[in-house]
Amino acid sequence: MSEETKKTVDATVNPAQFLATFNWHKYEEGIDEVDESKLKEFEQALEGTVGFVNERDVIEGEVVRVTDRDAIIDINSKSEGVISLNEFRYNPNLAVGDKVEVLVDKREDSSGQLVLSHKKARVIKAWDRVNNAHETGEIVNGFVKCRTRGGMIVDVFGIEAFLPGSQIDVKPIRDYDQYVEKTMEFKVVKINHEFKNVVVSHKALIEADLEDQKREIIGQLEKGQVLEGVVKNVTSYGVFVDLGGVDGLIHITDLSWSRINHPSEVVELDQKLNVVILDFDDNKSRIQLGLKQLSAHPWDALDGELKVGDKVKGKVVVLADYGAFVEVEDGVEGLIHVSEMSWSTHLRSAQDFVQVGDEVEAQILTLDREERKMSLGMKQLHPDPWTDITTKYPVGSQHEGTIRNYTNFGVFVELEEGIDGLVYISDLSWTKKVKHPSEFASVGDKLAVQVLELDVENRKLNLGHKQTQDNPWDAHEAKYKIGSKFEGTITNKNDKGATVTFDDGVEAFAPSRFLEKEDGGKLAKGDTVEFMVTEFSKEYRKIVVSHTSIFREEEQRNVKAAAKKAQESEKTTLGDIGGLAELKRKMEGK
């Protein structure tokens, strides 16, 4: 545009008016813009006419041509649509003339081409079919594609559905891979429209088939009836058996007459076996089965000649603190109480004598065939050590034993297996005042003892330890005479007084009133001072001492000395007075 033309335009046209009226659509698109209202009127006029389609419609089309990459589909519209062969990968045999469902994605793109989608049409139709199957309970076919966490992925109508592991079969599944790439029948049990999730079940179909069979079986159940079943599951507490659509439980105690640790010792999965119905609830939903009841009870087959006093051998199958159960024959057990394991009288645990699995020999003590109970004893196979007790342990004899236990009043000493004796706390030491036996010795220590008393009838033995040593109080009697003084240390103190220990280990007692010092204070624990013996008892092994008496005795001696001197002084004074009086009489007489 020349400068002169610009000047003419600028002079005749307002710029704002020019921009407002300029045809921008024609400038950008090359054509005039079609009026929207007129376009709608045109579309309404086309509705109902042959070949008119709406976007998002799912309609049936015909394959009119197939190229290397695309399929040309005729939907009887103004133009044909093109769909990539990728959308027909599930159907590699697609041919001209085939009828297919398509979705009208766009009536025309920027180039005026009709845009169709077979994949989207399949998804929409698939959801319609899945929803319909869910509502009506229709059985659908699905292809198991792969395993996933907790179950399987199944292709149903082109939609990936989830098959939980618990919904595959009525019995627990041990091998999921056996179902992969198999076509099976399913029932749609759940649809989540928000997240587009579908859950299917094969188990629901099996349960439906088994329901009629189950009702028929339950209706015929009777206690004592013997049925054939298959082991469905094995747990620590029992075995679940499939009776043909009905499950029953064999408790571990009803599997075998013998004790077992786990049901797998008797049965295995998928094993066929005969069982007897023991009990069931009112609606027969919980059925109790038995296996061992189909064989004779071992007690019924027990040797009829077996009697009390006979020796038997067996294996320890159960162990408790109070005893051990020994299986002498399959299913026949006897109890060996811990008191029958040893002649020893002090308390011990059965684990100290036997362990589970040990082979032991015992004697039958009691036998009740009706109650099916048997008690056994091990110690009866060994001589009773109390039989010749008076010969081996006469009164006055000295021995060495082992401390097995102690109480507040003494210690129990074992001289040999089955021979225990009690040493009272007062018979532990001649000199030491023992408050508790644990201060003197420990369990397991060896201890020299002397037999003090022997009660064969009641199997009691009274022992003493101090009696094995010379009585030091014989020597103490000569040394610790009343009035004698020794240096000692206060080793313990309470409200009543203090315990004083001398150099030779002898202990004495000082009452509180005898702990006062010369300066008026009180002696404390750990103080070492001089004490005077104020009392001695050999019989009761008692020495009473006093520190206070030492300086008070000195005071008393001083008082006595002063009194004596004063008395002598008084006599002298009185004598002088008497002499003066005599002198006076003589003078008066003269």
Domain ranges of the chain: 51-116, 137-206, 221-294, 298-381, 389-468
DSSP conformation class of 356: T
Question: Do 536 and 482 contact (CB within 8 A), yes or no?
Answer: yes
Assess whether pLDDT exceeds 80 at residue 502.
Answer: yes
- Looking at residue 564, its pLDDT comes to 64
Q: CA–CA separation, 115 vs 105, rounded Å?
A: 5
Question: Do 531 and 486 contact (CB within 8 A), yes or no?
Answer: yes
Considering the domain delimited by 51-116, tell me its CATH architecture.
Beta Barrel (2.40)
Taking residues 265-270, what's their average pLDDT? 89
Would you state the structure tokens that stand for residue 251, as one six-digit string?
Answer: 């408790």
* Tens digit of each residue's pLDDT (9 = 90 or more) over 120-159: 877 788 888 888 888 888 888 889 989 888 888 988 887 8
Cα torsion for 265, 269, 270, 276, to the nearest 10°?
A: 50
Taking residues 489-511, what's their average pLDDT? 91
Q: How far is CA 539 from CA 101, 118, 473, 563, in A?
A: 122, 120, 9, 40
Question: Do 334 and 375 contact (CB within 8 A), yes or no?
Answer: yes
Strands 139-148, 323-329: pairing kind: unpaired
Assess whether pLDDT exceeds 90 at residue 577.
Answer: no
Containing 472, the helix (H) or strand (E) segment is none
Our CA angle for 486, 488, 491, nearest 5°, is 160
Specify whether domain 221-294 bears CATH 3.40.50.880: no
Specify whether domain 389-468 bears CATH 2.40.50.140: yes
Taking residues 301-311, what's their average pLDDT? 84
Assess whether pLDDT exceeds 50 at residue 2.
Answer: no
* Tens digit of each residue's pLDDT (9 = 90 or more) over 175-232: 888 888 888 888 888 888 777 788 988 888 877 777 767 777 777 788 888 889 899 8
Q: Do domains 137-206 and 221-294 have the same CATH topology?
A: yes
- Taking residue 260's Cβ as centre, other Cβ atoms within 10 Å add up to 14
User: What topology does CATH give the domain 137-206?
Assistant: OB fold (Dihydrolipoamide Acetyltransferase, E2P) (2.40.50)
SS3 127: helix
Question: Sign of the CA dihedral 166, 167, 173, 177?
Answer: negative
- Taking residue 326's Cβ as centre, other Cβ atoms within 10 Å add up to 26
Strands 332-337, 373-377: pairing kind: parallel
Kindly report the average pLDDT of the chain as a whole number. Answer: 81
Question: Do 112 and 138 contact (CB within 8 A), yes or no?
Answer: no
Strands 238-242, 446-455: pairing kind: unpaired
Superfamily name and number for 298-381 = Nucleic acid-binding proteins (2.40.50.140)
- Looking at residue 237, its pLDDT comes to 92
